[in-house]
Structure formats: C-alpha cells, structure tokens
Structure 1
Amino acid sequence: MTASRRTVVRRAPGKLFVAGEYAVVEPGNPAILVAVDRHVTVTVTGTCHGAGAGAGAGLGAGGEAADAVISSDLGRGPVGWRRQDGRLVLHGAGDGRQARVALAHVVAAIETVDRLLAERGLPVRQLDVSVSSRLHEDGRKFGLGSSGAVSVATVAAVAAFCGLELSREERFRLALLATAEIDPKGSGGDLAASTWGGWIEYRSPDRAQVLDLARRLGVGGALRAPWPGHAVRRLPPPDGLSLEVGWTGNPASTASMVSALHRRTWRGTVSHQKFVETTTDVVRCAAAALDTGDGPGLLHQIRRARHELERLDDEAALGIFTPGLTALCDSAEAAGGAAKPSGAGGGDCGIALLDAGAAREITHLRQRWERAGVLPLPVRPALEGTEE
C-alpha cells in the first residue's frame, strides 16, 4: 500500500482563573475561568496508514524508525519514542527521564489516544508531533495554563490524525485522563477552558474515580460513563468591564502550591470548610452576575474572592500573595476596579476588572503595574476553544 503524507493542526487557548481557586480541586466545587487569546499549536504529520515509517521519523541504532518524534519550541526535541506495552519510551540514546518530564503532557496525551485506538481495534500511527507555544515568551512562563493547553491540543490533533471523531466533551475527558495520570490533584479547569473557550463555569470530577473507571471499563468506557460532580457551562462575558492581566515576573508551580495545601493540617478543619463554602458562594454569585450583566455585582465578588484567598494564605501559609500580586491588586482597587491572583498564586498572573469606558484609569493602572514591576499582558478573552 502506498503511503501518503498527511498533516493535522490543532490549537488550544490558555486560561485564567477568575474565581474558585483551591476549592475547585475538591470534586463538585465550582470555579469560573476564561480562555485567553494566546495558544498552543500542535502539528501532527505522518503517513496515512498504520504500517511503515512516518516521513521524518527518527531512526534508532539499527535503522528502525521511531513510533513518535516530538519536538517543541520550548527547547526539547526532536525526541524519538517507541511504543512498549502501551507506553512511550525513549527511542535511542539520551536522558529518558529528563525528556519524559519536559514532554510529559504531550506523551501522556498520545498514550491515552493510543489506548482508545487499541480498544476500538484501530491502528496506531507513526507520528511527527511539533509543539509551538505562545503561552511563553523568550523562555518566560506566564502562568496561562500551558500544560492544559498542550494536553488539549495534542489530544485533538492526534485523535483527528488517527481518524477519531470526538465530541468536545470526549476530547476534554481524554485530556483529563491523560493529565490525571501525571497530577491527580489538578482540577482540570484549565483543560475545560482550553476546550470550550470563552468564560465558563466548571465543576471538577473526582480524578481518582475517573482513573479507576478507565482501568475497569477502558478509556472508551470512561468516556461514556457518568462523571459525578463534573459540569461545564458557558457564561456570557462581563458587561461593560475590561479584563486586565498582569504578570508578576515570577513563575510559579500550581501543582506545587496545591500539593503544599494538601500537606497542611489546615485541610479538613472548620476554617477550611468555611473557605470552601464561601468560595463556592462567591462563584455562584459571580456566575449570576455574569448571567444578568451585573458589572458592579461581579466586582464585589472578585473582591470577596481576593479576601478569601488572603484568609487562606494567612491561615495555611502557602505564599499565595507575593509583593507583586499585592501591588497588582492594590493598584486596581485604587483605579476603581477589583483584582485578585489568578490561579494558585505564588507568582504568575493576577487579573483586574475595570470599567471598560474608563480609558484613563486603565492606562494609569498599567503604568502603576509597570512601576511595581508587574508586566501588563496584552491578552484578551478567546471566544473559541480547541480549533484548527
């Protein structure tokens, strides 16, 4: 059979948390996120049948072709991989552990799609996978959900290349199954924002439960089974408000921050329960404000969210509020807006909402941020999720 070349391109937007951080990691608790117009693009190229080497595939010492070659503009690649017992292992010489850490989310996404193909009796393909990210700049990580975006884009690109027709919900579930193997504490909110785009209200499933579903029922069974607690719905954008984003210059690890909270004895206390209940109410009220176009009501909920994160930080000593994030929030309040850290804190980004018609105040806010060492990021909400 003659092989022909085929290329599939998919991209997924980054995200920002608007409200609900930390509480959303508990199954069923809600959060609000917004997708942003910086994307990760994944390009998959190869042959259109399951046998034979994909063009451009790497070769091993014996001349055999790699099953997958992954390259990334973040500094890893091209790296060859071969399939072994349902996993991708390093193909040829090199530091396998370092490569697997650097490309963990891409590798996990390919492995998860491979499992679904095998269950459906479809051939796996030899792949050249190229990753390009606008969620970084000059090696700087902005905290816009690059891991989630690359997982979603890789699942979408590899699945489409292999002929799988998947709904948006199925693509999200595959991405969550892949990322939960790496970090079961992650809520999956970033994956939902990258999949659906726009402003969303998200509730997380029990990741341990969905991984168990995949083990017992297979990946396809886990896609079809109910996921208790999980829900996603689109929200209208805020009426009359401008979203401003500032980067503190300090990258942070969400996984490390969430893991630190899980190690604290504060979890499970009355104070922790109060935080979850109050944060849940904040998200409910903020979603209602978005639904009804209540700009002042939304600003009030953003301020409540900030205060709850401050209380969490004081009591659990997580280091959520850095000097840069505090300055970001205070500057927005001085300009008549409302602001808070976006995500786990400890660095990365903060968000502010201000009157969209207050051009002077918005300009002054950006100037105050720059004087405080906070970089205003020219990002806007992305109305669409995973796209070609």
Structure 2
Amino acid sequence: MSYLSYKVRVPGKLMIAGEYAILEPNQKSVVIAVDRYVTACIEPSKQNKISLPKLGLEDIAWEINEGKVRFSIEDPRLDFIENSIFVVNQFLEEKSIKIIPFELQIKSELDDPSTGEKYGLGSSAAVVVAAISAMLAIHSDGKKQPSLDKIFKLSAIAHLKSQKSGSGADIAAAVYGGWLEYSAFMGKRVLSQLEQGIKLVEIVERDWANLSIRKLTPPTSLKLAVGWTKSAVATAPMIRNIQNFREHNLEAYNQFLRESSIAVERLINGFEVNDCIEVINALKQNRKVLQKLGENARTDIETEKLKILCTIAEKFGGGKSSGAGGGDCGIAFLRDDIYKKNLYDEWEKASIKPLALNISEDGVLVRENDSKLSFF
C-alpha cells in the first residue's frame, strides 16, 4: 500500500460578537475566518518527526509510549500538537486503521511577520485543525475523507484537552470558513465522556448538546476593518478573571448574558434582513455590554488603546474589541469602503496598525500532491 503526501491550509479567525457569553450554554456568537493561514505539509517517513520552523523547532522526533505522546525534547509549545497526535491516533486505532510514521511541518502567517508578535487570530486553533486534518488525510489511502463535522469535533477535543477552556468558535472558523453564527458545545460533558472511557469514535458520531454552526451572509454594503493594538494578550487568564466574577456575582453575570444575547441576536437579524445600519448599531451595543462586564469584573477587556481604536471607528461606523480583549485586535464595521482610508489614517496616527484582512470563505482545505485544493 502506498501513501500520499498532502498539504493543508487553514484560516485564522476573528471574533465579531458574543465574547465571554459564548462560553455559556445556548448563547450565540459571530465569528469569521480571515485570509491569513496556517499550512501543514505531511509525507510518509521512516520515523515520526514534527517541525514548527517559526518556533525554532525542527525535526522533533516523537513516539507513543504507554498511551502517551513523547517528544525527543520537552517544550510546552508542543502541547497542542501532542494532544492533536494523541486524539488522531486514538481515533484511527478505534477505526482499525493502520497508523504509519510521517513527517509533519507546520508554518503560520497568523502573527506579525517582522516581530513574531501575535495578532490574536487563533493560531493555536488553526495549528490543531491543520495537524489533525493532515494526519487524517495521510491515513485516508485515497478513500473518502472525514466530514468537516468530524474534523471540527476531533480538533475541538484536542484543543480543549490542551487549553482546558474555550468555546470552540476559533475551531469552527478554521474548519468551516466564512461568517458563522456559533453556539458552543458543553466542553465539560465531552471531557467527562472521555474520562468515562467512552470511545472517541462514538463521541464524535454523537450529536453534541447545544452545538450550532450556521453560515451567515453579511449585508451587501457592510465593510470590515481590523486594527492591531500592538499588544498581545493571553486568552486563558482573561477567561479565568471573568469566571471568577461569575462565581461571586451570579446575578450581575446573568444580566450580562441577557444583554449580550440581545445585542448578538440584533446583529444576526441585521445580517438576515441585509440591514447594514442595524448591524453597525448592534456592534456598538455589544461593545457597551462588554465594557460594562469589564468594569464590573475589574478586568481590562477594553484597554485604553482599544478604547481609542473603537472611538475612532465610531466616527465612520462602529467598533469594538475582538475576542478576549485586553489587547490584540479591534474591529470596525463601515457602511462603505470610502471610509477605510480615513479610518486607517486616524488609526495609524494613534499607533494602531491596520491589518489588511479579508474574509476567507473557505475553511480547511487539503491538496494531494499537485492537485487542486479541495474541501475535505
């Protein structure tokens, strides 16, 4: 049996609306895939090796020993790869698919090319999706590839095992692409099922409670702009701060959930009726909800730099922080492209870097040898 080589491309993401609330059941968010990519190249080999050149990690050997993935070096930056390998290995074993050694190289263009600083475009999620898609591809033997839904679930499990928190919205953007309405699955339930010894194949085949992923079409005149504050932030500590607030101020937190839901539903409705002004106003409304949450939780969701970014954006449309806040990127919704130049000029004067990002309508794509990129 001969095995083929594959190249995989996965987009980054930006959260548009519904941050923090999306961690709770039955809450909605809007997330997009953007045209900055993680690529993975995989080929059969005599020995298992992984390379992440931008991290200075080259030809790292690995093996699975006593049910654990063991690398030739110890480096916490390999945690997401470790769990990706573990999850795919378990999935293939349960399906009685022969596992072959391979070389996997992963490259990312999601971060600043000159400094390597993170923009907050979901690099860990994109890396997980790229690694899992590549490993599944090389074991497909030219047969039908797994569905996007299976790739999403396997990637979500690997990411959750690594990070212990998160909604999976960044995984959804990486897998499906475009504009998405997203409601999160119950991560603790999925991890509990794994701990109970339920087969991974069975978990992946099940419907996941509360999970909903739906493509959206934005208003025809709506334009997106993205600015980088030149300050990176770690998502997990921000989430912990908000969870601590939730534990000690449940009534105020539930009020936040209600207000977030109203703003996000308003935004989605604006999409559905092609109303650009309604969408811009909904974005402003969601910004206010997050500002209030940050103040109540004493967490700097909207930093001074993000406040400047949003204030400038509101001269031309609407703006808000994206993702956990605390740094990284902010977004602006505009009624027309003619406003972009003035917006960018003012952002640059305020030391905010405009990012030339567009929507990636495609999610994960795979290429076999020299054939055309195609969906799984």
Same fold (TM over 0.5): yes
Instruction: Report the counterpart of residue 113 of structure 1 in structure 2.
Output: 88
State the partner residue of 1:195. 175
User: Are 1:152 and 1:195, in contact at CA under 8 Å, matched by a contact in 2?
Assistant: yes
For the residues of structure 2 that align with 1:267 and 1:378, how far apart are their CA atoms?
Answer: 41
1:195 and 1:73 map into 2 onto residues whose CA distance is 23
Partner of 1:333: 314
Percent identity over the alignment is 30
Q: Which residue does 1:141 correspond to in 2?
A: 118
Could you tell me which residue of structure 2 aligns to residue 170 of structure 1? Answer: 150
The match for 1:218 among 153, 176, 199 is 199
Which deviations, in whole Å up to 9, do the C-alpha atoms of 1:251-270 show, x marking residues without a partner? Answer: 01111211222223665521
Matched, 1:366 2:364: no
Distance 1:5 1:225, change over 3 A: closer
The two structures have a TM-score, normalised by structure 1, of 0.89
Shift of 1:34: 0.8
The aligned residue for residue 284 of structure 2 is 303
For residue 100 of structure 2, what is the amino acid of its counterpart?
R
1:117-132 superposed matches below 5 A:
117-132=92-107
Contact preservation (8 Å) 1:105, 1:151: yes
Q: CA deviation at 1:187?
A: 0.5
CA distance in 1, matches of 2:278, 2:198: 45
Residues 248 and 375, structure 1, Cα contact 8 Å, conserved in 2: yes
1:212 Cα deviation from its structure 2 partner: 2.1
Q: CA deviation at 1:281?
A: 1.7
Per-residue CA distance 1:226-261 (angstroms, 9 max, x = gap): 211111000002320110000000001111211222
State how far apart, in whole Å, the 2-side matches of 1:20 and 1:83 are. Answer: 39
Distance 2:51 2:100 in 1: 14
1:185 aligns with 2:165: yes
* Distance in 1, Cα, partners of 2:248 & 2:326: 19
On the 8 A contact 1:68/1:82 being kept in 2, the answer is: no
CA contact (8 A) 2:241 2:297 kept: no
Q: TM-score, normalised by structure 2?
A: 0.92
Matched with 1:387 is: 365
Give the corresponding residue for 1:62.
none
Match of 2:138 in 1: 161
Which is further off, 22-31 or 78-87?
Answer: 78-87
- Select the residue among 59, 69, 79 that pairs with 1:104: 79
User: What amino acid sits opposite 2:294 in the alignment?
Assistant: D
* Shift of residue 87, structure 1, vs aligned partner: 2.1
The secondary structure found in structure 2 opposite 1:155 is: helix
Of 83, 88, 92 in structure 1, the residue corresponding to residue 64 of structure 2 is 83
8 Å CA contact 1:24, 1:187 repeated in 2: yes
What residue ranges of structure 1 are gaps of 5+ in the alignment?
47-53, 58-66
Residue deviations 1:91-149 (CA, integer Å, cap 9, x gap): 3xx4x1xx2x2122222112101000111111222121101101012312110111111
Residue segments in structure 2 that go unaligned for 5+ positions in a row: 367-376
Specify the alignment match of 1:50 in structure 2. Answer: none
Out of 294, 297, 300, the position equivalent to 2:275 is 294
The answer for the alignment partner of 1:264 in structure 2 is: 245
